[in-house]
Amino acid sequence: MLIGESSGRSVDLVVPVDATSSSWLALDSYKQKIKDALRILEPGLPQFYARITSLRVKVIGYRDYLADPEPMLISPFFRIPDETPALFDYLDTIEAKGGGETPQESALEALVLAMRSDWTNESLSRQVILLFADADPLLPEECGVRPEGMHRSVEELYRWWNTGLPEAGSSFDPRKARLIIAMNDADQSHSRFPTWEDFPQNCHNCVYVPIKSPKDWANVDEVLDLAVR
């Protein structure tokens, strides 16, 4: 359950998004949903449980370490609303291409890179990751080509989320972190462990949002409200 105090706070939002060729039908929708989220999270909106006084947004377009020469497209943080046009310009540069022969991508590595962001770490700040997925993640044992320092198992990633990253000096704070997993076409059959649906059972302050149609994104304001608590 997501918990928090009722007060003004700064929010950093990092958005990993599937940018492989298999996501070409969904990528434009993801980009629009990011823009929708920004309109909801505009600093100072009164309907939120905790009023947002400062908002920064970063985007990670993820592909496949096994198949792509540029598996991660990582933006800087953009301060909203002053740098909103620059953020939207960056979104426009992300194209759906690459990816391996299987539908799974390096999404877990994108999640770790998001966790390693240069977060704001004030007393009431929130560190929110909104991950858009088009398939279940590529597991560590299936991905032999990865940067050093990545998780060795999904269970280790769960532990990092719940207790903190292993490296010294990290600004990631599990007490302030919130994870929203927005899964496209959630009625597809799952035969793997884990699926994204397993994350809320294993990660604190995590919610799973299946997206089968545009109306499934209609309650995103409620989800984001919970995320900034």
Summarize pLDDT for 30-67 with one digit per residue, the tens.
888 888 888 878 755 555 556 788 899 999 999 888 87
Average pLDDT value over all residues in the chain = 82
What per-residue confidence (pLDDT) applies to 2?
Answer: 40
Summarize the confidence of residues 17-21 as an average pLDDT: 85
Q: How far apart are CA 59 and CA 14, in angstroms?
A: 6
Residue spans per domain, the chain = 9-208
Q: Which CATH topology does 9-208 take?
A: Rossmann fold (3.40.50)
pLDDT attached to residue 204: 95
For the cut 70, the answer to whether the pLDDT of residue 76 exceeds it is yes
Average pLDDT of the residues in 127-156: 84
Q: What is the DSSP letter of 198?
A: G
Return the percentage of the chain with pLDDT > 90, whole number: 40
Q: Which DSSP string corresponds to 101-168? A: SSS--SHHHHHHHHHTS-----TT-EEEEEEEESSPPPPGGG-----TT--SSHHHHHHHHHH--SST
**Per-residue pLDDT, 30:** 81
pLDDT at 169 over 60: yes
Is a pLDDT exceeding 60 seen at residue 103?
no
What's the confidence (pLDDT) of residue 3? 38
Degrees, nearest 5: CA angle 156-160-166: 100
The pLDDT confidence band at residue 74, using thresholds 50, 70 and 90, is very high
